[in-house]
Structure 1
Amino acid sequence: MKLIDVVELKSGTPQFRLVETSDPEAPVYCFYGQQELEADLSGKKRDVNCAKKIRTYDAVEVLSVGDLVFSLMSGKATLVGECHEGYLLTQNFVKLDPSSMIDARYLVYLLNEHKGVRRQLALGQQGSFTMKYTVRQLADLLIPDLPPRATQEAIGSLYFSINRVTALRHDVAEKEKLVVMGRIKEAY
């Protein structure tokens, strides 16, 4: 079956169409970007100060906790974390609304790790000048037969847990490196 058979796709807001205002009463939105996606995927808490903001009265697509997003730039998916609620979804991302047939965390696992799905995404990039995925390519992805819902939930949960553990181990390794480098510097 195709991905479009189990999800509804919604494109992000095109940035170039937004009209920025200086009116202090207008809503302010932070842009959801690749750094936010990586933080949500690893379970890391990020600094609440967003890098890029816009003040606009325009209707925009904003994110809620638990929304499943896919980056058309990196080809990665994740679920939006609490610290990114209310962020503006740009045209570089697509929001996927899974049907009851598929668990959202399991779908993130499929999009990020399943060899068959990744191969289809990679094939769609061959010969492209700009390495950007398309909404059509995403919709047409063939996904494997779905296991029972309980199995999907277990796989999805394990996937997010191992991503969190991997991120924590990476942080520990970076801190250990800083300590060792500091001691080497002191020795000279």
Structure 2
Amino acid sequence: MKITDLVTLTAGSPQFRIKESTLQEASIYKFYSQTDLESDLTGIKTEEQESKRIKTLDKVTTLNNGDIIFSLISGSASIVNQNHEGYLFTQNYVLLDTNENIDPGFLVYLLNEDRLIERQFRMGLQGSMVLKYTVKQLRELKLPNLPAIEKQHIIGSIYLKQLRLQALHERRARNEMTLRLSKLQGAYHA
């Protein structure tokens, strides 16, 4: 079964076509970035960096809490959290709107971890100098046989919780290292 049997794909707004405006009635949008995607995937806010913004009257594609977003740059997917609601997503991202036959967390798991899907992406990148995924590649993905929706939900939920736990462990290890190095500096200069 192809991914398009279960998912509707919406490409992001072409960034170079968005016209900036100085008019007061123009809306201001923040751009969704790879850092935002990684933050959504782990559920942990990364170091606060100022998001790129644009003020425009153009109709643009924006994100909602719970949307599934796929990065054509990294080839990874995530579920958008409320911190990134209303963010504008560019042509480097694709919004995946699922039907009731596939769990959003399970779809993120498949796109990020499934070997069959990884192999299909790799075959599409063979001979390519620029490692960027395409909407066409995504549209033509063949999915493995799917378990029952209840099992999908369990797998997706465990996967997302495991990513969060791993990120928390990594953050703790970095903080412990920083603390130890600080103590060493203090001991050295004492």
- Distance in 1 separating the partners of 2:185 and 2:23: 51
Matched, 1:134 2:134: yes
Q: Give the AA of the match of 1:31.
A: F
- Distance in 2 separating the partners of 1:58 and 1:50: 22
Matched, 1:62 2:67: no
TM-superposed CA distance for 1:51, in Å, is 2.0
TM-superposed CA distance for 1:45, in Å, is 2.5
Counterpart residue number, 2:92? 92
What whole-Å deviation, never above 9, does each CA across 1:153-186 have from its counterpart, x for those lacking one? 0000001000110011111001000001001111
Secondary structure, counterpart of 2:75 in structure 1:
coil
Matched, 1:6 2:35: no
Counterpart residue number, 1:20? 20
TM-superposed CA distance for 1:49, in Å, is 6.1
Q: Give the AA of the match of 1:88.
A: L
Counterpart residue number, 1:77? 77
- Distance in 1 separating the partners of 2:21 and 2:184: 52
Q: Give the AA of the match of 1:128.
A: S
- Distance in 1 separating the partners of 2:136 and 2:182: 50
Counterpart residue number, 2:167? 167
- Distance in 2 separating the partners of 1:89 and 1:145: 31
- Distance in 1 separating the partners of 2:34 and 2:19: 23
Relative to the length of structure 2, the TM-score reads 0.96
Does the C-alpha gap of structure 1 residues 8 and 16 become closer, same or farther in structure 2, counting only changes over 3 Å? same
Counterpart residue number, 1:40? 40
C-alpha contact (below 8 Å) 1:65/1:85 kept by paired residues: yes
Secondary structure, counterpart of 1:108 in structure 2:
helix
- Distance in 2 separating the partners of 1:153 and 1:164: 17
- Distance in 1 separating the partners of 2:164 and 2:69: 18
TM-superposed CA distance for 1:122, in Å, is 1.5
C-alpha contact (below 8 Å) 1:46/1:83 kept by paired residues: no
Pairing of 1:109-188 with structure 2 (within 5 A): 109-188=109-188
- Distance in 2 separating the partners of 1:152 and 1:176: 36
Relative to the length of structure 1, the TM-score reads 0.97
Identity across the alignment (%): 46
Q: Which runs of 4+ in 1 moved over 3 A?
A: 46-50
TM-superposed CA distance for 1:100, in Å, is 1.0
- Distance in 1 separating the partners of 2:174 and 2:22: 41
Q: Which runs of 5+ in 2 are unaligned?
A: none
- Distance in 2 separating the partners of 1:49 and 1:57: 25
Secondary structure, counterpart of 1:54 in structure 2:
strand
C-alpha contact (below 8 Å) 1:31/1:50 kept by paired residues: no
Q: Which runs of 5+ in 1 are unaligned?
A: none
Matched, 1:29 2:61: no
